[in-house]
Amino acid sequence: MKGFSELRFVGLKLVIFVFLVSFTLMLLPFHIFQTSAIAHINETYENIYEQSVEGLTKSLSVGYFLWHAMFNAVQSGNQDFVDLMFQEILEDFPDVRAIRIIERPKEMAQERDFEVFVRQDELYAFLNIRDSLSQNTVEDSVVLVSLDKEKTLARLSMADRVTFSNSGRKTFAYGLRADIKGYDIYNWLLFHSFVAGLVGVLLMMEVLSVGFSRYHQTQGLQTTVHMWELQDPYTTFHSKNVAKIAEVLGKRLKLKRKKLAELVNGAKLHDIGKMGISTSILRKKGPLNEIEWEVMFSHPERGKNLLEQFKYLGEYVPYAYMHHEREDGSGYPRGLKGEEIPFEVRILAVADVFEALTADRPYRDAYTFAEAAEMMADMPLDQDIVSELFSALPELERVLNPRTAESVQGAFDSVI
C-alpha cells in the first residue's frame, strides 16, 4: 500500500471511530439478514432440485418417448426393443432407479409429456409415449419412472445440507419432507464484521494518507515553480498558462477526466527542471553559447530526476521529460518521433510552444495569437492538435493570464 508509511499521521481516535462504524454497520442487520439468507438458501436449493428433476424427466421424454421407434414398439408389443431402451436408460441416467410401462392412471392426461409426483415420500414421474411429431399418443399406457431422490441430491452437491426424512421438519421440492441444515452465520458475521472494521480503517488510512501526500507534493511543487517564475517577468504565468492552453485542447480532444487532470498538473510541472539553471542563462538577451545550450538541453533530464524523487508524482515524469520531443525526431532529449511520444505530451508540446510564442522574451516581443498559430503550422508538432489550436484561439484569448508588469507584481504580492 503506497500510503502505509504515512499511517502514523492518522489520529488514534479517528482509527477507532472508523473501525467501530464499519463493525456496527456490518453487524446491525444481523437478525434480518440471517433469517432472510437462510430462507433464500432453502428456496434456492428447492428450485435447483426441482429444475434438475424436471430437466432429467424432460431429457427422458424427448430422448426416448417422443420417438416413432418407441411408439411403434409399444403399440406392436415389441418388448425386446422396449427392454433394451429401458436398460440403456438405467445405464445412462444414474438418477433413475426403476422404469416400466403401466396402465394409464386417471391423473395422467394425454396432453402432457410428463408429470413428476410423490408417493409415500418417494419421487416418481409419468411419461406419455408419443410419436416423433407428438401427433399420436399411446392411449392405455404410460411409462412409470422411479427416481432416486438421494442420488439427485448428491449429484447436486446438496447431500450435506438436505436430508430426506418422513419426519422432516420442512417441506422440500414436490412436497417431500426433509431436514435442511441452515447456515449459522453468527460467528462468521462477527468475524466478517471485525475484518470489515479493519479493512475500513486501512482503506481510510490509505485514502487519506495517499490523498494528502499526493495533494501536498503536487501543489507544493506547483507553487514552488510559480514562485520561481515570478522572479522573471518574461516567464511569469508561463506554466499556468501552458496548463490552461493544454486544458482547453484536452477538452476539445475528448480526453477523459483523469487524463485531463493529469495533463493539467503535468503542464504546471513541465519546466520544473529549469529551476536548477542559472538565471543569467535563462534571462540572457543574446544567443546562448555551446555550454549554455548544453545546460538548457539538460532541463528535461533534471525535471525527470526531480519528479522521480516523489513516489506519488511518477505520472508527471513524461511531461517534464518529453515536452521538447518533436514529431520528426528533431527534439530532445531522446529524439522521439510521432507515436513514440505520448498523446498527452504532444498536447503539452503544442501548448508550450504556443505560450512561448505569445509571450515576450528578452530577445523578442510576443507574437499575436494568429501569428503564433500560423508559425506552428510549419513546425514539427502534431498538426491535428495544432488544427484544434486554431479553432480554440477565441477561447484562449479569454482564459490566458495577462503578462503585464502590474499583473506580475500583483501575483508576487499574493504569494508572499
Query: Pick from 236, 266, 233: which is nearest to 351 by CA?
Result: 266
Query: In this structure, what C-alpha cell is assigned to residue 52?
Result: 434438475
The sheet carrying 122-127 orders its strands as 96-103, 141-147, 122-127, 114-119
The sheet carrying 162-164 orders its strands as 162-164, 177-180, 170-171
> What's the confidence (pLDDT) of residue 211?
58
Three-class secondary structure assignment of 311-332: CCCHHHHHHHHHCCCCCECCCC
Q: How far apart are CA 302 and CA 320, in angstroms?
A: 9
Query: In this structure, what C-alpha cell is assigned to residue 16?
Result: 477507532
| Total Cβ atoms within 10 A of residue 17 | 13
Strands (E) in 23-167, as ranges, are: 96-103, 114-119, 122-127, 141-147, 162-164
> What's the confidence (pLDDT) of residue 344?
96
> What's the confidence (pLDDT) of residue 3?
45
CA distances from 93 to 46, 88, 97, 190, 259 (A): 21, 8, 9, 44, 59
**DSSP-assigned states of every residue in 383-409:** HHHHHHHHHHHHHHHHHSPP--HHHHH
Three-class secondary structure assignment of 171-235: ECHHHCEEEECCCCCHHHHHHHHHHHHHHHHHHHHHHHHHHHHHHHHHHHHHHHHHHHHHCCCCC
Q: Is 111 helix (H, G, I), strand (E, B) or coil?
A: coil
414: burial class by Cβ within 10 Å (0-12, 13-18, 19+)?
exposed
Asked if 189 and 14 count as a contact pair (C-beta separation under 8 A), the reply is no
> What's the confidence (pLDDT) of residue 404?
40
Angle at 152 between CA 146 and CA 156, to 5 degrees: 165
> pTM of the full predicted structure?
0.50
The CATH number fitting domain 231-415, selected from 1.10.3210.10, 1.25.40.10, 3.40.50.300, 1.20.5.440: 1.10.3210.10
Cell 433464500 belongs to which residue?
40
Asked if 280 and 232 count as a contact pair (C-beta separation under 8 A), the reply is no
Q: How far apart are CA 154 and CA 193, in angstroms?
A: 33
Cell 518521433 belongs to which residue?
337
What φ, ψ does residue 45 adopt, rounded to 5°?
Answer: -55, -45
Q: How far apart are CA 321 and CA 89, in angstroms?
A: 74
Residues whose CB is less than 8 angstroms from the CB of residue 255 and which lie 6 or more positions away in sequence, other chains included: 263, 344, 347
- The domain spans of the chain are 4-186, 231-415
Query: In this structure, what C-alpha cell is assigned to residue 57?
Result: 424427466
From first to last of its 416 residues, the chain has per-residue pLDDT tens of: 444 454 555 566 766 777 777 777 666 666 566 667 667 778 888 899 999 999 999 999 999 999 999 999 999 999 999 999 999 999 999 999 999 999 999 999 999 999 999 998 899 999 999 999 989 999 999 999 999 999 999 999 888 888 888 887 788 889 898 887 765 566 666 776 777 777 776 666 666 655 555 655 566 666 666 555 555 554 557 888 999 999 999 999 999 999 998 999 888 888 888 877 776 776 677 787 888 888 888 889 988 988 888 777 788 899 999 999 999 999 999 999 999 999 999 999 999 999 989 987 766 788 999 999 999 999 999 999 999 999 999 999 888 865 543 443 343 343 33
